[in-house]
Amino acid sequence: MKRCTIRGSDTIAAVSQMPISYRSAGNALSLPMLAAALLCGGFAAACDASHSALATTFGGIAVATLVLPPLTLACDTFIHRTLLAVVSVSAIASVWLFLPVSWPQWGQCTLVLCAYVIALAGSVRLLHRLGTNAFVASAMVVAVALGWLSWPIWLSPYLAGHQTLVNWLVFAHPLLTLNGVLIDQGIWTERPHMYAWTALNQDVSYSSPANIGWCMSLHALLGLACTAVSTFSQSRKRDHESTRMEHESPRI
C-alpha cells in the first residue's frame, strides 16, 4: 500500500492553479470578516460602557461611522463592497436584537442603519473616484459624518429663531430619528448630562420624527447617487483608457 505525501510546494502550485473565483473567495471574505470583528468589538465595548438601549443604538451608528469608510476603499469590486456593507449592518443589528425593544422598533432601526451605511459607502467611494487620496477621503467622510451626527450639540445654540431649518435637520438626523423610534426609552436631549451640551428642547424647540421615511430616504438617495456617479466616472475612465491604447498600439 503506497503512502501518499503532499509537499508544501505541491500545495502552493495547486492553489495557484485554482480558478480565480475560488482564489479570490478568501479575499472577498477577509475584509467583511475584519469589519464584523471591529464592529462587534467596538460595539461590545460601547454596550459594556452603557446600560441604556438608546445609547447602545447610538453606539452602533458611531462605530459604523468610524470603521466603514476606510474598509470600503480597501474593497476592489462592487460585490466586495456590497458584502462589506451587508456584514457591517448584520453585525450591528445582531447586537440590537438583545436590546429591550420590539420587533417593529428593531426593524426600523435596522432600516435607518442600512440607509446610513449606504450613504457612508457611496460618499467615500465618490471622493476617492474623483482623485482624493484614500486616507484623505476616509478622513473627510468620517469627519463630516461625525459633524452631522453631533450637530444637536455644536449647532443647536445658533438655531434659535430658525424653526423651519430645525425641523428639516431633525427629520433627517439618524440619531434623532432612532430616538423617535425608541421614544419609550426616553428622550435623548432630556438626559441630565445633555442639558449642558445642547440647546434643543431648551432655547430651541423640536419634535421627534414621527417616522423614519425622511431620514432613510435622504441617506439612501445620497449613497445611491454617489455610487452611480462614481460608477459612471469609472466606466468613462475605462473607456477613455481603452480608446487611448487602441490609438497608441502599432498598426501591422
- The whole-number pLDDT of residue 41 equals 57
The ranges assigned to domains in the chain are 32-230
Over the stretch 154-180, which tens digit does the pLDDT of each residue have?
999 999 889 999 999 999 999 999 999
Whether 146 contacts 138, CB under 8 Å: no
Whether 116 contacts 218, CB under 8 Å: no
- The whole-number pLDDT of residue 237 equals 60
Over the stretch 20-56, which tens digit does the pLDDT of each residue have?
333 344 454 565 666 656 665 555 555 554 568 888 8
* Residue type, position 113, single letter: L
First to last CA, the chain: 60
Helices (H), the chain: 8-16, 20-49, 53-73, 78-96, 103-129, 134-149, 151-154, 163-172, 174-181, 213-248
- The whole-number pLDDT of residue 190 equals 84
- State the average pLDDT for the chain: 80
- The whole-number pLDDT of residue 31 equals 57
Q: What one-character-per-residue DSSP string does 45-101 give?
A: HHHHH---HHHHHHHHHHHHHHHHHHHHHT--SHHHHHHHHHHHHHHHHHHHTTSS-
Whether 191 contacts 233, CB under 8 Å: no
pTM above 0.85, yes or no: no
- The whole-number pLDDT of residue 128 equals 93
User: From residue 8, how far is each of 3, 22, 73, 210 by CA, in Å?
Assistant: 16, 19, 34, 62
Whether 200 contacts 152, CB under 8 Å: yes
Over the stretch 51-110, which tens digit does the pLDDT of each residue have?
688 888 998 999 899 989 998 998 888 888 888 899 889 888 988 888 889 999 999 999
Q: pLDDT-derived band of residue 132, with 50, 70 and 90 as boundaries? A: very high
- The whole-number pLDDT of residue 231 equals 86
More confident residue, 14 or 249: 249
Q: pLDDT-derived band of residue 4, with 50, 70 and 90 as boundaries? A: very low
User: From residue 1, how far is each of 4, 6, 83, 169, 193 by CA, in Å?
Assistant: 10, 16, 47, 77, 77
More confident residue, 112 or 14: 112
Q: What is the DSSP letter of 200?
A: B
- The whole-number pLDDT of residue 240 equals 53
